[in-house]
Amino acid sequence: MNNDIPVQALGGQGEIMAHAVDACVHCGFCLPACPTYALLGDEMDSPRGRIVLMKEVLEGQLPLMDAAPHLDRCLGCQACVTACPSGVPYGELITAFRGWSEPQRDRSVFDRAKRWAILKALPAPKVFSVAARAGQFAKPLAPALPAALRGPLDLLPERVPALQPSPAFTPSQGPRRGRVAFLVGCAQQALAPNFNAATLRVLSRNGIEVVIPEGQGCCGAAALHTGAREEALKLVRANLNAFQPEEFDAILSNAAGCGAGLKEYPAVLHGESDEARARAFAAKVMDISEYLNALLQSGDLAPPMPARRPLNVAYHDACHLAHAQGVRAAPRALLRAIPGVSVLEVPEGDLCCGSAGTYNLEQPELAGQLGQRKAQNILSTTPDLIASGNIGCHTQIQSHVRRQGSPVPVMHTIEVLDLAYRGEL
Amino acid sequence: MKPEKQALTTTSRAPKPASAGGSHSALAAELTRLLGPRRVLSNLSERLNYRYDAIQFGATPLAVVLPESTQDVITAVRAARAAGVPIVGRGAASGLSGGAAPLEPGLVISFTRMTRLSIHPERREATAQAGVVTLAVSEAARPHGLIYPPDPASLRTSTIGGNLAENAGGPLCFKYGVSGDYVRALEFVDADGGVHHLTRDAFDLAGLLIGSEGTLGLITEATLRLIPPPRFTRTLMAHFPEVGACAEAVSRAIAAGAVPSKLEFMDRACTNAVEDYLHLGLPREAEAVLLVDTDGEDLDTVQDELRLVEAACLEAGGTVRRAATDEEGAALWRARRSVSPALGRIRPQRMNEDIVVPRSALPEVVREIRALGDASPFPVVQFGHIGDGNLHPNILFDPRREDPHAVHDLAHRIALVAIRHGGVLSGEHGIGSMKREFMTDAVDPETLGALRRVKRALDPHGALNPGKILPLEEAPHAHP
Ligand SMILES: Cc1cc2nc3c(=O)[nH]c(=O)nc-3n(C[C@H](O)[C@H](O)[C@H](O)COP(=O)(O)OP(=O)(O)OC[C@H]3O[C@@H](n4cnc5c(N)ncnc54)[C@H](O)[C@@H]3O)c2cc1C
Ligand code: SF4
Ligand code: SF4
């Protein structure tokens, strides 16, 4: 798309934004992929429309606050990236734009307090855990609270588990076949500690030793995608210091959002001194399912035990796995590697579940509509089990599936595999 | 079926910000009074987003209406007429001729929320509001053992209203016809806000609306014909040392009695672009690659037809590769489907021509266009539905570095090649504003006069999509 974005004035992030706008030929092929377009049916809440809005703001043709409501409704799910025939890097554009625009926004005191709380709590498992427990006690009060607070409370599990420490080193069972570094994630540790426990067991079982480097922290995705660029840069640099990519076969994440965040580091640091380090780091980052699937494909995956009865597993593609990282086949292949498991495809599978980072907090109404639609679509396949590879999707889907009165369990792909290894599936 | 589009309530609680050129045109205010704020867009940020289609940016509209019913359309048209402003219909804005981009500020009526669709299997019909996405018709019909065959490459995005307004085609059109062939009845709103229900008899007024690009009326609903899908499909790819041989093979196969469902051609530049992008093992040296599907109810007939095509290709000096499995067939078609992204990697922009020429003239036309391309500073690639001589020469360019006038000039020369060989300006993408000036080359003055009288009869004040299709009367266009 023709544009006059003042790249010089905007620096490295400006280059990224101008490149994305250039590449868009406004063909509209991305429209049917976009969840907000599916709900609202207007151009401003579509990927193409948002690209035009960002272009106009960057060119100085449109006040930021006029475009903001539509840009804020973007889930960052990147379904548009998968759909785009011209390879427009929309994800990089919106992230860079949010970073550029946030300092120029005037937000209400309430809004700012909410954002501050999110940005502080999410990356700090201890704080988050305490907050989550506090929230748990507030649950009965939910009907009396404003929607912005009700949304997150709804998502809390009935019982918030105790925080479990992660071992700095997990040896391999049997001869060592590989050595990986593992990012433990933030909110996930508080809400679903078993994801990490299962991950460590499965890796170890496969002869992989796992190091959890000290000094690692939040991947920075939440800060980055809400426009808190300075916060994000601190977190990014801390991780670059904590992980030494040359010491490991891979740097693994079991949360799609975090994995995608880690893979974004080179774009975040584009044009800055650490860019080369970020590249070396990102080149080693893999989702847990990608890594295990490589073992499966080379015939090296320890065979899981058969399920005790035939199991229909509905697999939900997390946006940050399928769209942002392009990982679709690997988790399905791992599930199918368990004898007795069939994988079900979900109708409208590419449509975001509405969880998307802090979306439940920022856009509770749209998030709720999408969550409901997702739960209906999943349940229409009448699954015995629902599997997914992302903590955000997990809590959202679980909450909406329960709301529809269904008891079907929701698990991380790796939990399913772990159960199979233990003969408990 | 998808749920109806919904309005935001809580998240739009914040007052709509006023801004320069802001929300307060009298028209927008009146429309909001009549239709409510949810169906009317008046902020600058909203209006800016309704000024383009897939090829061109136009004027920012004064107001945008997102109707949910025919009644909303009538209300909007009457209000725009009272205000004396032009009206532009818009579907998904995937058009490639500037049709949905307003040439002057006015009212845009965007049909994307008119998505009601019902299937009547007993009559093999679908009733679709204008904003129904094309693919959705087949998706809804398939459980009843039926499909809607028109298949523009944009079928996941484009709307039935837009398809009918452009009379869109697609690879399947050689055997199955274009959008207009599937219309049993149309509902449209005229320039004064009157509603009409048309069938295909008497004067075929429905036929006149089809392909009229929103210049004669606004299509609000269509009754579409559905057919059972073919049970079997077989695929082959052939390549030729020369374009003439490819065209000859196609003519021979058709003369021998084959009616392939798809016949797609890619020239050497196009094949190489795809190969650079995907590394599929396509024949880089070939001057022409041909992709063919035969399909039908009976496998033997489908195979026989494929054999006829194969024999014709071999006789014409081609090399043939048959797909052994459905997966292999899909892999071959991947090459054709990847043309758009592959070209996007060469230059960010392209001008997509859409000419149709007699098949016998095709070799000569392809050669002449190639020569024009070689003599120009732009890469020019050619592909298209060769079965009915529909060619898409694409001029690739970078608007930051290259002169758009030179691009336009080259497009004009290409159009003239088609006309010289007895062809027409548009196979499926429409005339819009892009090829409007070329109309005086393509259509004789008497016929142009008749078209103008039709336009005046249905739209006496020239309110509907002004500046499209018909060239200006006063200033005859001078050609190089
Ligand atoms: C990558 C790409 C591939 C394409 N491939 C094909 C192809 O294979 N075959 C093909 O034929 N086209 C193709 N197209 C062109 C385009 O998709 C078609 O012309 C399509 O029919 C336009 O539909 P739309 O809903 O996007 O209409 P728009 O672009 O929104 O509008 C097109 C025209 O129709 C008018 N219009 C829209 N809705 C109505 C209505 N309800 N009543 C009256 N007038 C209306 C508009 O004013 C405009 O003049 C392609 C486009 C792209 C970007
Ligand atoms: S599909 Fe890609 S090129 Fe087309 S409008 Fe969307 S982002 Fe732009
Ligand atoms: S990231 Fe998701 S929500 Fe945002 S524009 Fe793309 S498809 Fe729509």
Angle, helices A413-421/A329-336, rounded to nearest 10 degrees: 20
What's residue B339's pLDDT? 86
Q: Ligand 3: does its nearest atom lie under 6 Å from the Cβ of A77?
A: yes
Confidence of residue A135 (pLDDT cuts 50, 70, 90): low
| B394 interfaces chain A, CB cutoff of 8 Å | no
What's residue A141's pLDDT? 56
The rounded Å distance from CA A154 to ligand 1 centre is 43
Mutation pick for ligand 1 pocket among B53, B70, B74, B94 (CB with most ligand atoms within 8 Å): B94
SS3 A77: coil
What's residue A216's pLDDT? 87
Lowest mean pLDDT among A278-287, A352-361, B295-304: A352-361
Q: Give mean pLDDT, residues A297-318.
A: 94
From the CB of residue B409, how many other CB atoms can be counted at a distance below 10 Å? 13
Give strand pairing partners of B394. Answer: B352, B381
What's residue B23's pLDDT? 41
Cβ contacts of residue B276 below 8 Å, gap of 6+? Answer: B342, B345
Residue type, B102: P
- Asked if residues B240 and B288 have their Cβ atoms less than 8 Å apart, the reply is yes
Kind and range of the H or E run holding B207: helix B205-209
Residues of A in contact with B342 (CB under 8 A): none
Give pLDDT tens digits along chain B (480 positions).
444 454 443 333 333 333 434 445 899 999 999 999 999 999 999 999 999 999 889 999 999 999 999 999 999 999 999 999 999 999 999 998 999 999 999 999 999 999 999 999 999 999 999 999 999 999 999 999 999 999 998 999 999 999 999 999 988 988 999 999 999 999 999 999 999 999 998 899 999 999 999 999 999 999 999 999 999 999 999 999 988 899 889 989 999 999 999 999 999 999 998 888 888 888 999 999 999 999 999 999 999 999 999 999 999 999 999 998 888 888 888 888 788 778 877 887 888 888 999 988 888 998 899 999 999 999 999 999 988 889 999 999 887 788 888 998 999 999 999 999 999 888 788 899 888 888 888 899 999 999 999 999 999 999 999 999 999 876 555 554
The rounded Å distance from CA B347 to ligand 1 centre is 23
Q: Give the HSE-up count for residue B355: Cα atoms under 13 Å, Cβ half-sphere.
A: 30
Range among A151-155, A351-355, A358-362, B330-334 rated most confident: A351-355
What's residue B340's pLDDT? 79
Q: Give mean pLDDT, residues A379-396.
A: 94
Residues of B in contact with A56 (CB under 8 A): 45, 48
What's residue B4's pLDDT? 47
State how far the Cα of B111 lies from the Cα of B1, in Å rounded to an integer.
17
SS3 A353: coil
Phi, psi of B267, deg, nearest 5 = -85, 180
- If one compares A270 and A413, the residue with the highest pLDDT of the two is A413
Residue A398 pLDDT > 90, yes or no? yes
Residues of B in contact with A32 (CB under 8 A): 133, 156-157
- Asked if residues A356 and A35 have their Cβ atoms less than 8 Å apart, the reply is no
Interface confidence, given as ipTM, is 0.87
Phi, psi of A40, deg, nearest 5 = -105, -25
Q: How are strands ordered across the β-sheet holding A169-170?
A: A169-170, A208-211, A178-183, A250-253, A285-287
What's residue B14's pLDDT? 35
| DSSP for residue A107 | -
Each residue's pLDDT tens digit, A71-124: 999 999 999 999 988 889 999 999 999 989 988 887 777 777 767 666 666 555
Confidence of residue A340 (pLDDT cuts 50, 70, 90): very high
- Which residue of B lies nearest to A50 if distances are taken between CA atoms? B49
Give strand pairing partners of B319. Answer: B239
SS3 B147: strand
What's residue B291's pLDDT? 94
- Asked if residues A373 and A343 have their Cβ atoms less than 8 Å apart, the reply is no
State how far the Cα of A60 lies from the Cα of A55, in Å rounded to an integer.
9
The rounded Å distance from CA B393 to ligand 1 centre is 18
| B36 interfaces chain A, CB cutoff of 8 Å | no
Give me A269's structure tokens.
Answer: 């640091």
Chain length of chain A = 425
| A8 interfaces chain B, CB cutoff of 8 Å | no
Kind and range of the H or E run holding A381: none
Residues of B in contact with A42 (CB under 8 A): 41, 46, 49, 66, 110, 112-113
Residue A160 pLDDT > 70, yes or no? no
How close does chain B come to A39, measured CA to CA in Å? 5
Helices (H), A156-274: 187-191, 193-205, 221-225, 229-242, 256-263, 265-268
